[in-house]
Amino acid sequence: MADKSARTDDGSCWSRLDELQDQIPSGLDAWDYRMLFNETPQPLWYEDWSAVRPLASAVAWPPEGDVEWHLIANEPLLRELYQRTRIVDMNAAAVAFYHGNSREQILGRLFDETPKGSLEATARILAELLDGKHGGDWVLEGPPDAAGRPRWVRAVWYLPPSARNDWSRLVYSVQDVTQQKLAENVLASAKAEADAASRSKSEFLANVSHELRTPLNAIAGFSELLLEEKLGALGHYAYREYARYIRDGGEHLLDLINDLLDLSRIEAGVASLKVDAIDVRDVVEGAVRIIHDKARRSGLDLVVELPAVPLEIVADARKLRQILVNLLSNAVKYTQPGGNVTVSCASLGGSGVSIAVRDSGPGIHADDMGLAMERFGRIDRPGAAAKDGVGLGLPLTKALVELHGGSFRLDSAPGEGTVATVVLPTGPVAAAL
């Protein structure tokens, strides 16, 4: 069946060809043109469709239907129309294309069997003729090659102005594109396999993450219970320190599992947003409260720059807070004591809002930018205050921003700090609808 998606004709080239019809030089005689036609390496031929037009005009085509697919589904009618077409002339390359021994063997279409692709080509051309088109091109499977192997061709047809009243002369040519088609198939297959592997990986991570969260919640909860000595004193002072290690380690691992689960859901295409009208300033202030103590303990100045007027957008407040906490945590983690971290937001008119997190840390080299945005990508930053983490913060942040229909950009240079910019649309989020 003809590949409808492969069609490339927009009609403009055929209009230009019509304009050039009257500009053919008169200094060449018929013999010169005959040599040019016959010696062209691309298969060319003329077909007479004058017997097709009366029958096509008498057919009751489905109203507002697809003529091509109607013909494909009605093979007896399609064959009758095909048998009314006639090959008037063809060049040597066309004879070889049909595996003929001579032009005379093929003229008039004296084939024992209908060549592969001919019926589909007839359906496509007739549908376009009835639609008022005078030319077209597409890719379809044609007759096999001399060794019997499948062959794909780019077919081109053109109805010159002098034949548009009776369809008496239709110019047809084909180009072998088998190698290109095979290459496309290999790439498509490789992409499908890669997508399947990625989905399997994401599903595996999601399942493992879900199973790990239950015991980790228990570890965090019971270690907190021990620290608070709800059921009595622990006795030795070291027990409190050990319980704190258990709690902190469990919470860190739980955060990692939650990030993996969120990232896996997004990559698997099953993540959803709970959107509502929110004031971005409230979310920024909530994220700052979470990070404030950590910044203070690190000896950093945490600056918040918010406009006096509300910045209202439609978004998932929890996930937006997660985005900001990730960015602020990264900024605090990699900024030396005595430095500063600034978070600001501004309106972009009616198109959205911009949120920026700036730090005075060591910055990132341009060559390391790609690695910083990869999952589990970790880079060494000279002079950085800390290097803990597994490299999920930035990839997850970017994925969450894009889930909102926004964009994320990271700007940095060695010794100049880093600026992470989030741009979110004002209107409803398509991914959540």
CB within 8 Å of 207: residues ≥ 6 apart? none
pLDDT value for 428:
56
* End-to-end Cα distance, the chain: 37
Distance CA 200, CA 25 (A): 64
Rg (CA), the chain: 35
Residues of the chain with CATH 1.10.287: 187-267
Instruction: Give the SS3 label for residue 221.
Output: helix
CB within 8 Å of 374: residues ≥ 6 apart? 391, 395
Residues of the chain with CATH 3.30.565.10: 276-432
pLDDT value for 423:
93
pLDDT value for 15:
63
pLDDT value for 259:
75
For domain 187-267, give the fold: Helix Hairpins (1.10.287)
Q: Which CATH superfamily is domain 276-432 in?
A: Histidine kinase-like ATPase, C-terminal domain (3.30.565.10)
Spatial strand order of the sheet with 86-90 comes to 86-90, 44-48, 170-176, 151-158, 135-142
DSSP label at 27? S
For domain 4-176, give the fold: Beta-Lactamase (3.30.450)
Six-digit token pair at 52?
């097709």
DSSP label at 166? T
Residues of the chain with CATH 3.30.450.20: 4-176
Distance CA 419, CA 410 (A): 6
Place of tokens 């077919």: 155
The stretches in the chain having pLDDT less than 70 are: 1-31, 108-112, 206, 268-270, 374-391, 427-433
Q: Are strands 301-305 and 340-347 parallel, antiparallel or unpaired?
A: parallel
